[in-house]
Amino acid sequence: MVTATAMDGQQVQDAGIDLDWLTRKIEYRNFQECIHCGLCTASCPTYVETGNENDSPRGRIYLMRAVTDGRLGMGPHVRRHLELCLDCRACESACPSGVRYGTLIEPFKIALQKDAPAGAKASLLQRMILHHLFPYAGRVKTALAPARLFQKLGLLDLAEKSGMTRLLPPTLRRMMAMLPRLSGARPRLPEVLPPIGPKRARVALFLGCVADAMYPETNAATARVLQQNGCEVMVPRSQVCCGAIHYHSGVEQPAIALARRNMTAFDPDRLDAIIVNAAGCGAMLKEYPHMLPAAEHDQAARFVAKVKDISEFLVALGPVAPEHPVPLKVAYHDACHLCHAQQIRSQPRQLLAMIPGLELVPLEESELCCGAAGTYNLTQPEMSERLGRRKMDHIEATGASVVAAGNVGCILQIARKIKERRSTIEVVHPVDLLDRAYQGKQA
Question: How many whole angstroms separate alpha carbon 234 and alpha carbon 239?
Answer: 11
Does position 241 have pLDDT exceeding 70, yes or no? yes
Identify the weakest region by mean pLDDT among 182-191, 306-315, 426-435: 182-191
- Sorted by sequence, the CB contacts under 8 Å of residue 242 that are 6+ apart come out as 206, 208, 209, 258, 259, 262, 280, 281, 284, 285
Rounded Cα–Cα distance for residues 329 and 259 (Å) = 39
Judged against a pLDDT cut of 60, whether residue 59 lies above it is answered with yes
Alpha-carbon distance of 257 to 194, in angstroms, equals: 31
Name the strand (E) or helix (H) holding 426.
strand 426-428
Q: What is the percentage of the chain residues whose pLDDT exceeds 70?
A: 93
- Specify the pLDDT at position 233: 98
The DSSP letter of residue 123 is P
Please write the tens of the pLDDT for every residue from 150-208. Answer: 777 787 777 777 877 777 777 777 777 777 777 766 788 999 999 999 999 999 999 99
pLDDT for residue 395 is more than 80? yes
- Give residue 286's pLDDT: 96
Residues pairing with 203 in the sheet: 233, 273
pLDDT beyond 70 at 8:
no
**Confidence label for 120 from pLDDT (cuts 50, 70 and 90):** low
Looking at residues 207-221, what average pLDDT do you find?
A: 91
Residue 14: the pLDDT is 39
Whole-angstrom distance, CA of residue 222 vs CA of residue 233? 10
Does pLDDT of 108 surpass 80?
Answer: yes
Task: Name the more confident of 340 and 137.
Answer: 340
Report the distance separating Cα 210 and Cα 216, nearest Å.
Answer: 9
What is residue 167's DSSP assignment? G
pLDDT on residue 74: 84
- Determine the average pLDDT of the residues in 253-265: 95
In whole angstroms, what is the distance from residue 153 CA to residue 155 CA? 5
Q: Is the pLDDT of residue 9 over 60?
A: no
Binning pLDDT at 50, 70 and 90, where does residue 418 land? very high
What pLDDT, on the 0 to 100 scale, is given for residue 15? Answer: 47
The pLDDT of residue 62: 94
The whole-number pLDDT of residue 122 equals 61
175 or 389, higher pLDDT:
389
Average pLDDT along the chain: 88
Q: What is the mean pLDDT of residues 33-37?
A: 92
Indicate left, alpha or beta for 421 from its phi (over 0: left) and psi (-120 to 50: alpha). Answer: alpha
Q: What integer is the mean pLDDT of 143-149?
A: 79
Encode pLDDT of 311-365 as tens digits: 999 999 999 999 999 999 999 999 999 999 999 999 999 999 999 999 999 999 9
**pTM: predicted TM-score of the whole model, two decimal places:** 0.88
Distance in angstroms (rounded) separating the CA atoms of residues 74 and 108? 11
CA distance 241 to 244: 8
3-state SS string over 350-373? HHHHCCCCCEEECCCCCCCCCCCC
pLDDT exceeds cutoff 50 at 6 = no
Runs of H (alpha helix) within 266-325 = 279-286, 288-291, 297-304, 310-317
Residue 64 confidence (pLDDT):
93
Count of C-beta atoms within a 10 Å radius of residue 88: 30
Identify the band that residue 306 occupies on the pLDDT scale cut at 50, 70 and 90.
Answer: very high
- If pLDDT is split at 50, 70 and 90, which confidence band does 20 have? confident
pLDDT for 119 = 55
Task: Look at residue 28 and give its three-state secondary structure.
Answer: coil
Q: Say whether pLDDT at 13 is over 70.
A: no
Range 358-383 average pLDDT: 91
Please work out, in degrees rounded to the nearest 5, the angle formed at the alpha carbon of residue 372 by the alpha carbons of 427 and 423.
35
Please report the domains of the chain, with CATH numbers, ordered by start residue.
4-120 (1.10.1060), 137-178 (no CATH), 192-316 (3.40.50), 322-439 (3.40.50)
